[in-house]
Every structure is written in structure tokens, then in C-alpha cells.
Structure 1
Amino acid sequence: MSLINGLPAHILLVHFVIVLVPLTAVALVVCALWPAGARRLGLVLPLLALVTLASVPLTTSAGEWLERHVDSDPLVRRHADLGDGMLPWALGLFVLAAVVWWLARRTGTPEGGTRSGSGSVLRIAAAVVSVVVAVGAVITVYRIGDSGAKAAWHDGFSKTATHSGDDG
């Protein structure tokens, strides 16, 4: 995918990643820390994480196409290098979402307790790893987005207005 309605697909697809990664990260942490929430969401959590995971390579591929169609620039290269690091984080979100969903179904009782002590240990471990991966994913998507904005806008605007408008 290279163009959507005449625009580079990357500049449109990137918005899915920008929204879905933090949304999935927050949902994962909430569900990992609150098993009743994971049971209430059911398959929504792993499906959200799957959509997030699928959006990353689509956006990266479109970005690679765009990179070949713009002037070579160190800011663009930095953005592309950082962008290549998003897929492992998205994969981690998906795997952990599936684990949290599975643990909530397996270890939970209707009252919110657990059936075994090992279930508690697994839930705690999943919660800790989920928080780490969620924070890492959000920081990574922020860094990628920041570098992309700098690459796109570093010389594309004037700090002073070029003409006056009808502001009121």
C-alpha cells in the first residue's frame, strides 16, 4: 500500500498506530491489574491487541515506501530506524493480552478469586510484565511519532506568520 486517495498511506495509517498502541497498553494494564475487568472485556482485549499488531507492519511498510519517495535526510532516517523498533513492542502487547485474557478465564471465579496459588503467581507475573511492556510500547510510539513530526516539519513552517488572516 503506497497511496490512499492521492496521499502517502503512511501519513494516514500512522494515526491508527498512534491511537491503538496507547489504547491497547492502557487496556492491557487495566486488565492485568484487575482480572474482573479482563473477564468483562473478554475477547475484546486480545482482538484489540491483534488489530494493533497488524497496523504496525502496514504502517511501517507504507513508511518504507514514503522514505524512498522523499529526499534523503538524517531526520527521516532516524524516524525510519525508530519505526523499525515498534513491531516487537506491538507483538509483546498482543502476546500479553492473550495471556492476561487466558489467565482471567482460567484462574478467575465469579467472585473474583482464584482457584489456585499458582494462578496468583502467574497473574502477578503477567501484571508486572504487562506494565513494563505497556510503558515501553507507549514510550516507543511517542519517540517514533516525535521523530516523524520533526522529520516532516523541521523546515516546513515559519515561526512568524507569513500573512494576516481574519482572526476575528
Structure 2
Amino acid sequence: MNLTVINGLPAHVLFVHFVIVLVPLTALALVACAIWPGSARRLGLLLPILAFVTLASVPVATHAGEWLESHVGRDPLVRAHAQLGDGLLPWALGLFVISAVVWWTARRSAPAPGGSSGAAWSPSVLVRGVITVLSLAVAIGAVVDVYRIGDSGAKAAWHDAYSKTATSNHGG
């Protein structure tokens, strides 16, 4: 299976959209679950699964991007985009690890069987605070990095590739 070209087009153009959607979605879900443990319990395994899919999508998009980079002319904007793209994997890994921690702590602090209000284990306020701060930091870092990467990719793809004035062949 070739993950560099799909239907004759560079696969990076498709795969990058998964990353653009999944990273902010995972970041939002992580922060919500870190702040409100009840939402983490309701989501259950969905949070770490979403984070894992997000993590897996990054090297797929990066690999396809490296292939594309080797098939376009030398361009400093493309090189800058590629360098920024190489930095996303640690952020995605952080989203996954902290999502697993949030899921695990929410699962461990779930109400005891039989419906009693006591939890089997309850993390301290300090532990919850640290998890929340880490979640916020990694979520913000990941989303900002995706924005920076996307902005540089758009500049690399579109610089000097369109007219600043409308052309007359648009049918009107």
C-alpha cells in the first residue's frame, strides 16, 4: 500500500486534514475531561483511542509530506514547513500520554460498585491540578503548533500561485 500518492495526487494533501481536525478535537476533549472528570468517565476509552488515532495520523502525514518535499523544487518555504511539521509528533505523543492518564484517573476514581457515592480511589486536589495544567499546556501547545505548521504549509503551497485580482474566466 502506497501512502504517498492517492488517486494520482500527493497523499499529504489528504492526510494533513486528518491532523488539522484531530489535534484540536483531541486537545479540546482532553481539556474538558481533565477539568470535568465526569466527562472523562462518560467518554471512557474514547478519549485515549481518539488521542492514539491522532498520534498515528501525524507520522502518516509527515511521511507523505517528506515524499512530497522530495518531489517539488527546492523552496525555502517548503523546507520551513517541513521543519515545523517535524516538531508535531512530541505534541501528539503528549496528548496521547496525558489522555491515557486522564482516562486512568477518571476510571480509578469512578463510583464504587453498588451505586455508593464513595470512589474506589480519589486523586488529590494537587494531582488533579497538575493533570489539568499539563493538559492545558499540551493542548495549547499542540493546537498552536498545528496552526503554525498549517500556516507555513499554506504559504509554501500558495505563494505566487494565484492572482491578486479576479480573472475574467470565472463565468460571470
Q: What TM-score do you get using the length of structure 2 for normalisation?
A: 0.91
User: Are the aligned partners of 1:25 and 1:138 in contact in 2 as well (CA < 8 Å)?
Assistant: yes
Alignment gaps of 5+ in structure 1: none
CA offset digits 1:86-139 (Å, max 9, x no partner): 000000000000000000011233788756664332222111100000000000
Match of 2:150 among 134, 145, 167: 145
Change (3 A) 1:134 1:111: farther
Q: Equivalent residue for 2:164?
A: 159
Structure (1/2) with the larger helix percentage: 1
- Give, as a single letter, the amino acid of the residue that structure 2 aligns with 1:10: H
Q: Equivalent residue for 1:123?
A: 128
Match of 1:22 among 12, 24, 28: 24
- Give, as a single letter, the amino acid of the residue that structure 2 aligns with 1:125: V
Match of 1:94 among 93, 96, 102: 96
Between the aligned partners of 1:111 and 1:14, the Cα distance in structure 2 is: 46
Runs of 4+ more than 6 Å apart: 110-113
Q: Equivalent residue for 1:85?
A: 87
Q: How well do the aligned residues superpose, as a CA RMSD in angstroms?
A: 1.7
User: Are the aligned partners of 2:92 and 2:142 in contact in 1 as well (CA < 8 Å)?
Assistant: yes
Between the aligned partners of 1:2 and 1:112, the Cα distance in structure 2 is: 53
Once the two structures are TM-superposed, the CA of residue 17 in structure 1 deviates from its matched residue by 0.1
Match of 2:77 among 75, 78, 83: 75
Alignment gaps of 5+ in structure 2: none
Between the aligned partners of 2:157 and 2:101, the Cα distance in structure 1 is: 38
Between the aligned partners of 1:58 and 1:35, the Cα distance in structure 2 is: 31
Q: What TM-score do you get using the length of structure 1 for normalisation?
A: 0.93
CA offset digits 1:20-70 (Å, max 9, x no partner): 000000000000000000000000000000000000000000000000000
Instruction: Point out the more displaced range, 123-132 or 89-98.
Output: 123-132
